[in-house]
Every structure is written in C-alpha cells, then in structure tokens.
Amino acid sequence: MQSPIYRTPRRVSRSASLLVTLLILGLGITAGVIYTLQLLAPMSGNKNAPTVLVTIPPGKSARQIGEILARKHLIRKSYSFVLASRMDHLSGQMRAGRYELSPAMPPRQIAALMALGETASRVLTIPEGFTVRQIAHRLGQQNLADETAFLDLAQQQGRTFTVQGWTPPDNNLEGYLYPDTYDVSKGATPREIIQMMLDNFHTRVFVPLRAQAATYPGGLTAAVTLASLVEREAEVDSDRPLIAAVYANRLKIGKRLECDATVQYALPEHKKRLFDRDLRVNSLYNTYRHAGLPPTPIANPGLPSIEAALKPASVPYLYYVAGPGGHHLFSETFSEHQEAIARVRATR
C-alpha cells in the first residue's frame, strides 16, 4: 500500500515567503536607518575637540560644501551635509564666510549655522581719532591680525586697494580706515580687514559727501586731513564746527595752524602734555613750523568731524584753548586768546 504524499499547503508557503520578504525588508530598513544615523552623527564625541576654521566661498552647492567639510574631517561623507541640509529644508540657503566648526558638531548643526550665516567673528571697535598704529596695536592685542603686517599694508601699500572705482589718494591710509564697530572673521587677513574699513569709508563718507567734497579747496583729501585735526582736538561735538572754522580761517590768511595734535603725531612717542622743545620738532607734520595742512591726516576721523571740516561754522575765530568740561574757549584776537588762557588757568 503506497504512503500518502503530504504537500505543504499553498497558503502556508505564501506566508513563509512573505515573512522572509518582510524580514529582509526590515533588515534593509534597519541598516539604512543605522547608516543614516552614522552619516548624521558627529565625527567626535569629544565636546572639547579642537575647532577648525573653514572658509566657504560664495556660490557653493551643498554637495561642494560637504566635500570641503569632509576634507577637513568634520563630517564622514560629503553626502552627510547634503542629507542634513535636505532634512531641514536648508538646501540653497548656505551663506559664504569663514566658520569655526568642531568635529563634535553633527552635520545638521553645521548646516543650520551656515544657513544662518553665523560666521566665526570677533567684535572690533575702532574709536574715532585712532591712528593707523593704534588700530594695528588693537588688532594685535585681540589676536585678529599681525600688527607688523597690518602696518606695512596700511602705511605703505594703500594705493593697492580699490573700492568701487575709488582708490585712496596715498599709500598711507591714515584718515581712511573708518572708525566703527566691526565683526571681524577669525582668520581674516590684514588685507581683508583693511578692505572692510575702506568699504565702510566709501559707504559712510565718500558716497554721501562726494558732491560737497568736490567744491572743497583741495577736495576730499584736504577735508579728511583737516577733519583729522578736528577729531584729535575736539572733545564735544558742538566744538567741532568751531575748531574747523579756526583752522579754515587760518588757512585763508596763510597763518600757521599751530595745532598741538600734529606735533603729537610727529613725535616718536605720544605726549599728552607738550613742552616748548616739542614744538620745535623737525617734521612736516609740525604745524607750528610749517604753514598749511600736514602731508596726510593724523588720525582716522569720524563722520561728525568730516562734516565739520566740509562745513565749518561761520565765525571769525582764529584761536581756541581747552576749557573745563571738555569745551573750548574761542577768540578772534591774540589778546582775547591770552585772556581766555588766563581764565582757564584761574579755574584750574
């Protein structure tokens, strides 16, 4: 008698195939999730890992940025950044600049920083009246630039810079590094910092005052030079047009300016108090010995001083002396000036 043949029911066979398919699919999904998590994970778990400065040029795609980051060992694969930017709908929103990044940052955090444009920078404040040397020293103090390299560019290579068709009138940029508060990217070169200051001068001074400067005797160069004297002498804004008037009146009649600030600029070291021997220093910047304006500005003036130089007060004054509270006493004649000096001394 033949043994019966047992066949697996067709329904059971299909269920087993489906189970195997689902298992394979599940394993594939799990592997994909794990791989994606790895792509989106930070390169390092060390929160104190050294940061890296990365420059992203303009016009780079997410893939190109990813390649830059991968070369710097900040992400695992260039596609990590592409994936991160797509997940958060940031594709096409990346901003060029210099970024300070850590391998402990996940790609999504890096993408968010670049989309927001949170570049690596430090705040640099240049007060009105700072000289080029003072600016260079402050940059050195804040580790933003090499002091010597900055001075070399700012004092000897000024005409290698151009701003929208405008070229500084002298290789010495004294007077044209606009005093302001700047966000300076970490790792910025001295040339980039100077260019930023010249761009600001062009925007804040050259463009809005170009028409006024064109009618000024000696043009913008003379106006900025005179403004630098006003900047170093004035302490309160209301005195600026009056001090500018004193110098303008002296220039008109050929009288030496006799400005203490120009002597201080000429001396090897700055002195707050000048003596008679200082006033005899042999320098073209010594306006006690030489008529007319000094060869270049003696500081970097702010907008109020430049506006005062272009439009001085309509007064007959030829003299002034520093009085109490930062204000100056102004006089038309030398005898009145002597009386003003006596009054100031009496109050002291």
pLDDT in tens, the chain (348 residues): 455 555 555 565 666 676 667 667 766 666 556 766 677 888 888 888 888 888 889 999 999 999 999 999 999 988 888 998 998 888 888 888 888 898 999 999 999 988 988 877 788 999 999 999 999 999 999 989 999 999 999 999 999 999 998 999 999 999 999 999 998 887 889 999 999 999 999 999 999 999 999 999 999 999 999 999 999 999 999 999 999 999 999 999 999 999 999 999 999 887 778 888 989 899 999 999 999 999 999 999 999 999 999 999 999 999 999 998 889 999 999 999 999 999 998 887
- Amino acid found at 178: Y
Domain with CATH 3.30.1490.480 in the chain: 54-119
Residue that has been written with the tokens 């329904």 in this structure = 11
Question: At residue 291, what are phi and psi to the nearest 5 degrees?
Answer: -80, 160
Is domain 54-119 given the CATH code 3.30.1490.480 in the classification? yes
Residue that has been written with the tokens 């070369």 in this structure = 71
- Amino acid found at 94: M
| Residues 6+ away with beta carbon under 8 Å from 340 | 319, 321, 323, 329, 330, 331
Distance CA(308)–CA(179), nearest Å, equals 16
